[in-house]
Structure 1
């Protein structure tokens, strides 16, 4: 898989025993990721430890967000399958079409940032969800048009509840 953060691109391959192997700017690396609690990990890299919180399910492809040592980090993931399709000139197929946005975790809707009928692109802020005492802005993972908003400000939502349809 490929991970893009800011202007950097990381090629990542799963290794054995919770290790990830890859290449950053031509330099080979190995990272160890140990689970210490639900959605909480310790990342070991070059002799340093980093606390990683994963408040949302990480998709195989698309936008993702984690917290490293208290810093919010957003990045894009491209699966190996998508990389092969792009190399074959088949990128952007129907498999990347998203029809609904589901709550990544239980929480409280604090703001709705789009309206029905609005066209959105990948990365467009859709709504804000308060969870784990933090406000998380949920962004579109692909382009589309909002066809229905199924929640309103102040609604409590459960994990995987459909919030918006495209």
Structure 2
């Protein structure tokens, strides 16, 4: 069971049945994977092309391009919902210690400087990997203590890119 916010509209999706259930109603669709990030969808006799533009597992957010239009999707699983119900925030307000490379790649942009104050979701770096540009964002609030890379540097998965104070 997941809840997701798409364009400020809340949806509940349950994948436990054979077909997904959307807001309590069966959701019938044909889904065909075209590439690792691109899908063709048929729903109610309408055709859609969906592409996963960016995926951030830490923030549980996805940017989808559906028929050429970008959509920001925020996911919450049953554990997030339980914490929210109990009045406990997840890592949303957590201070961050450092930003590590999620995959090997090339640094093509740095959007912050030492001493900058950042908040959760602020854009920090652009990492090119597998011919795709990935925006690396702050997982929490903090102050930039040091930047350990420069534009044009090749980085390895797990390498510390930015330290926070």
Structure 1 and Structure 2 fold alike (TM over 0.5) = yes
Q: Which residue of 2 aligns with 1:14?
A: 15
* CA distance in 1: counterparts of 2:51 and 2:114, whole angstroms: 32
* CA distance in 2: counterparts of 1:3 and 1:142, whole angstroms: 20
* CA distance in 1: counterparts of 2:97 and 2:40, whole angstroms: 34
- Normalised TM-score (structure 1): 0.71
User: Aligned residues, how many?
Assistant: 162
User: Does residue 28 of the first structure (1) align with residue 29 of the second (2)?
Assistant: no
* CA distance in 1: counterparts of 2:53 and 2:92, whole angstroms: 28
Distance apart, 1:113 and its partner CA:
0.7
Distance apart, 1:84 and its partner CA:
0.9
* CA distance in 1: counterparts of 2:31 and 2:56, whole angstroms: 15
Q: Decide whether the 8 Å contact of 1:121 with 1:142 is kept in 2.
A: yes
User: Does residue 142 of the first structure (1) align with residue 140 of the second (2)?
Assistant: yes
Describe the SS at the equivalent of 1:90.
Answer: coil
Q: Decide whether the 8 Å contact of 1:100 with 1:162 is kept in 2.
A: yes
Distance apart, 1:112 and its partner CA:
0.7
Distance apart, 1:46 and its partner CA:
2.7
Describe the SS at the equivalent of 2:20.
Answer: strand
For structure 1, the 5+ residue unaligned runs are none
For structure 2, the 5+ residue unaligned runs are none
Q: Which residue of 1 aligns with 2:116?
A: 118
Give me the CA root mean square deviation.
3.3
Structure whose CA Rg is larger: 2
Q: Which residue of 2 aligns with 1:129?
A: 127
- Go from structure 1 to structure 2 and tell me whether the alpha carbon gap of 1:54 and 1:85 turns closer, same or farther (over 3 Å shift): same
* CA distance in 2: counterparts of 1:67 and 1:161, whole angstroms: 30
